[in-house]
A and B are shown apart, each in its own frame.
Chain A
Amino acid sequence: DIQMTQSPSTLSASVGDRVTITCRASQSISSWLAWYQQKPGKAPKLLMYKASSLESGVPSRFSGSGSGTEFTLTISSLQPDDFATYYCQQCDTNLFTFGPGTKVDIK
């Protein structure tokens, strides 16, 4: 089974900072990688799919890149609403797997 890792596990940043989160797969997953944002008590919200496709309604300060085994989610200028936990997720031969998450908190 494919394992997903994320780094860092926690990230302290300020409003306006450029933030990058990395997700790695234990083997190639082509571009079948999605990113979610989750706030306390809420269901996850889809941000990116197919590694670099922006979900409808998601601000353009979010971007994704990568293929194969290494992927990144970048927030170009962190806004107050962006403090949350971010998860990557892959799908390989019927099996969906989430990364362990990256919490973005206020510096």
Chain B
Amino acid sequence: QVQLQESGPGLVKPSQTLSLICTVSGGSISRGSYYWSWIRQPAGKGLEWVGRIYTTGSTYYNPSLKSRVTISADTSKNQFSLKLISVTAADTAVYYCARAGDGSGSYGREYAFDIWGQGTVVTVSS
């Protein structure tokens, strides 16, 4: 049973860098064909996809955040991480990591997030 767990600081100062890690257990992030993603949700608002890293290591980001986001993977630790630079109060949100399968149907659910972490609250404030 694959499980995801987010970790990282709950408080970040404005203009600094938000760094989060998603630890994957029960399966390898370097096997199969999955999109390992970060998704965020400001309090009382909807879901916003931040970006993803594919099993091969390729990345793709939400165009609205692209200039500030980096997602990377550490296969030795079975983790993938999020870095968001130059944060403001608008980046305050619950951050989730999640897994989606590719379009083949052989891995997970096609382009749908079937496994989520529990989420971690990040507040940007001085």
Contact = CB atoms under 8 A, between A and B. Distances in A.
A34 B63 contact: no
Contact of A91 (B46, B63, B98, B100): B100
A87 B48 CA distance: 11
The number of chain B residues touching the other chain, given as a range, is 20 to 34
Interface in A30-62: 32, 34, 36, 38, 43-46, 49-50, 53, 55
The number of chain A residues touching the other chain, given as a range, is 20 to 34
Q: Is the interface of B mostly helix, strand, loop or mixed?
A: strand
Contact of A1 (B63, B111, B113): B63
Interface string B108-124: 01111110111100000
B116 A87 contact: no
A32 B60 contact: no
B50 to A, nearest CB: 9
Interface of A: 1, 32, 34, 36, 38, 43-46, 49-50, 53, 55, 87, 89-91, 94-101
